[in-house]
Structures are given as C-alpha cells and as structure tokens.
Amino acid sequence: MAQKVLILGASGMLGTDLQKVYPDAVCRGHELDITDEAAVFSFISDLKPSLVINAAAFTNVDGCEDHEDLAFAVNGEGPGYIAAVCHEVGATLVHYSTDYVFDGSQEPYTESDIPNPINVYGASKLRGERAIMAAMEDYRIIRTSWLFGQNGPNFVDTMLRISDEMETVRVVEDQYGKPTYTVDLAAKTLVIANGEPGMYHITNEGVCSWFEFASAIIPNVEPCSSEEFIRPAKRPKFSVLENTKTCPMRPWQAALKEYLGTKNMETSL
Ligand SMILES: NC(=O)C1=CN([C@@H]2O[C@H](COP(=O)(O)OP(=O)(O)OC[C@H]3O[C@@H](n4cnc5c(N)ncnc54)[C@H](O)[C@@H]3O)[C@@H](O)[C@H]2O)C=CC1
C-alpha cells in the first residue's frame, strides 16, 4: 500500500526540498500552527498519514533569545503534540533537530552524546527531542547543521548579497561545524524514514569554520573572532556532528558547488 505522507513546515527551506522528494505528500505550512494542540490533533487524526515529516520550527537563533516563549512553544511543545497524535494513528514521525543542542566543548558529537545547549534555540530544540521520545517509539530525529538551500534565509545567500554591498566581509573563524545542503538532507530523509527508529546525525561531510565556509562562496572575506562579533545568542565553538549510523553524504564543497550553480542559472535567466 502506498505511504500517505504529511509534510509540516513545507514552505520553509528544507520543506521545499522535501516536497520534491515526496511529490504526492500532503503539505502544510504555517497555516497549520504546530503550537495549536487541538488543530494538530484534529488535522492529523482526520488525515491518518503513515508518515509525518516535521520541518516546521522557529529557526532564528538570535530571535529565540528575545522570544523564548515562542521558541519553546514551536520547537519544544509543538513536536510533542505531533508525536502524540502520530502515536495514536500509528504514523512514523521524522523530525529535525540541531547541532546547537550541544555546547561545543568536545568534537565530534555522536548520536549518543549528552546534549547541553548554551542558547534558547538549542534548549528549545532539545525540549522537542525529549517530548517526541516521551510520546512515541516510531520516531526518527535527525540532527543536522548549517543548512543552505533554496527558499530560506541562509548563510550562502547572505554572503552573496553582502559581498556586493561591502568591500570586505568579516566572518568568525573560531566556530566550527558542518555545512549541509537541504537537497541532500531531503534525499537522505527518504532513506532514514524507511530505516530503523532512533536518533541520527546527518550532515554533508567535512568540517570548516564559518570563515572557511564564507571563503568558498565569495572572494572578499576577512577572519574575525567571536569576541569581535557579539551576537544575542551564544554559539558553540565546535558543534560537529558525527554520523555513526548511515552512509556518509558527499562533502559540503561538492554540495555548495551544485547550489551555487543553481544561483548562477537564476541570475542568467
Ligand atoms: N537552518 C539551519 O541552519 C538549521 C536548521 N535545523 C532544523 O532543520 C529544520 C528545518 O529548518 P529550515 O528549513 O532551515 O527552517 P525554515 O525557517 O526555513 O522553515 C521553518 C518553517 O516552519 C514554519 N513555522 C514556524 N513556526 C511555525 C508554527 N508555529 N506552525 C507551523 N509552521 C511554523 C515557518 O513558517 C517556516 O516555513 C528545523 O527543525 C530546524 O530547527 C537544524 C540545524 C540547522
């Protein structure tokens, strides 16, 4: 029997690529507010999907510091509501979390390492992970990092934009992570959804600093330290996720090349 798939947060950056992987999926964006327990329950119990993929989240890391209640409602409570109704209708749940559940004091982090978030976004995403684990068993939680792709604010697009506006772009060189292309993550989601339940760390391969990442995108970059570039949310220094469970994805440089190619095609049209 064909899977009935529901994608939540379908209009976001990752959601857009998930729609391409699951062309027959029922899709909901912000109009199904995942913080509305009754609405989530009624929609999913009426639809009775066999697979729910939740890409909805409050992803503005600095914004979460100023809007803590909203961050915990969307990233913490909402996934719990979704998990509870998935459990009730017998649906598998795929949900995404973040490298920012870790404090960045060790490197790299495997799926079984103990989280210790240092900002509101990370704490709210950890709450969501735990709410899902408490509500059901048939979940796949995919922690990922440094996403870039179509249809969402992301570092690559920001660099391309400000490179034209500024003579030199200063980017921090003392925070390390793994950039990840949403096209690759969406394709991998299909594999994981059909695999074993549990926690997964899924990123493109290769570790870099934000400065090194920026240098692969634009020519006019200069390194600076986190102390010189104070942001509302603290960031982990080494939030490197290690995947010990599935085949590795391609290196981030290859994925970035492909993404930049799609940008060049857009501008030449
Ligand atoms: N963007 C990144 O660099 C990273 C993202 N992640 C995680 O990956 C997942 C996907 O992230 P992105 O595609 O970048 O996010 P995004 O910000 O592009 O999309 C999230 C979507 O959720 C929707 N949304 C927000 N609040 C909602 C609510 N109350 N009800 C329903 N929908 C709501 C937004 O309208 C948006 O379309 C999220 O779980 C995020 O936490 C993890 C690590 C890094």
- pLDDT of the residue at 267: 66
145 lines ligand 1 (CB under 6 A): yes
Q: Is the pLDDT of residue 20 over 70?
A: yes
Instruction: Report the pLDDT averaged over residues 219-229.
Output: 93
The topology (CATH level 3) of 5-153+178-204+241-251 is Rossmann fold (3.40.50)
**57 CA from centroid of ligand 1 (Å):** 4
Which residues carry out catalysis?
121
Phi/psi of residue 7, nearest 5 degrees: -110, 120
Instruction: State in Å: Cα 195 to ligand 1 middle.
Output: 23
For ligand 1, say whether the CB of 12 is within 6 Å of any of its atoms: yes
> Which residue stretches of 53-181 are H helix?
61-66, 68-71, 78-89, 120-135, 155-165
* Stretch 181-202: mean pLDDT: 98
Our answer on whether the CB atom of 144 is closer than 6 Å to any ligand 1 atom is yes
Determine whether the shortest distance from the Cβ of 210 to ligand 1 is under 6 A: no
137: exposed, middle or buried (C-beta count within 10 Å: 0-12, 13-18, 19+)? exposed
Amino acid at 74: V
Distance 58 CA to ligand 1 centre (A): 6
User: Is it the case that residue 266 has pLDDT exceeding 80?
Assistant: no
Gap between the Cα atoms of 169 and 214, Å rounded: 9
- Percent share of the chain, pLDDT over 90: 93
Mean pLDDT of 102-108: 91
Please say if the pLDDT value at position 1 is more than 70.
no
| Atom 39 (ligand 1) nearest CA | 96
pLDDT above 70 as % of the chain: 99
Assess whether the C-beta atom of 96 lies below 6 angstroms from ligand 1.
yes
Could you give the CA distance from residue 79 to residue 40 in angstroms, rounded to a whole number?
Answer: 10
Phi, then psi, of 111 in degrees rounded to 5: -60, -25
Q: What is the mean pLDDT of the chain?
A: 96
Could you tell me the distance, in angstroms and rounded to a whole number, from the CA of residue 213 to the centre of ligand 1? 22
pTM: 0.97
Q: For atom 2 of ligand 1, which residue has the closest CA?
A: 147
* pLDDT, tens digit, 9 for 90 and up, residues 28-55: 999 999 999 999 999 999 999 999 999 9
Of all protein residues, the one whose alpha carbon is nearest to atom 8 of ligand 1 is 96
> What digits encode the pLDDT tens for the residues 21-35?
999 999 999 999 999
DSSP assignment, residue 238?
B
- What's the pLDDT score for residue 134? 98
Sequence ranges of the domains in the chain: 5-153+178-204+241-251
Which residue's CA is the closest to the ligand 1 atom numbered 24? 56
Which of helix, strand or coil describes residue 235? coil
- Phi and psi at residue 73, to the nearest 5°: -65, -50
Lowest-pLDDT range, 1-5, 143-147, 251-255?
1-5
If pLDDT is split at 50, 70 and 90, which confidence band does 268 have?
low
Residue 167 CA to ligand 1 centre (angstroms): 32
Range with the poorest average pLDDT among 83-97, 186-200, 221-235: 221-235
Residue 269: pLDDT over 60 = no
Sign of the Cα torsion 94, 99, 101, 102 reads positive
The rounded distance, in Å, linking the Cα atoms of 13 and 149 is 6
User: Are 69 and 113 within 8 A, CB to CB?
Assistant: no
- What pLDDT is attached to residue 35? 98
| pLDDT for the residue numbered 2 | 79
98 ligand 1 Cβ < 6 A? yes
| CA–CA distance, 195 with 197 (Å, rounded to integer) | 7
* CB distance 223 to ligand 1 below 6 Å: no
Count other C-beta atoms under 10 Å from residue 63's C-beta.
15
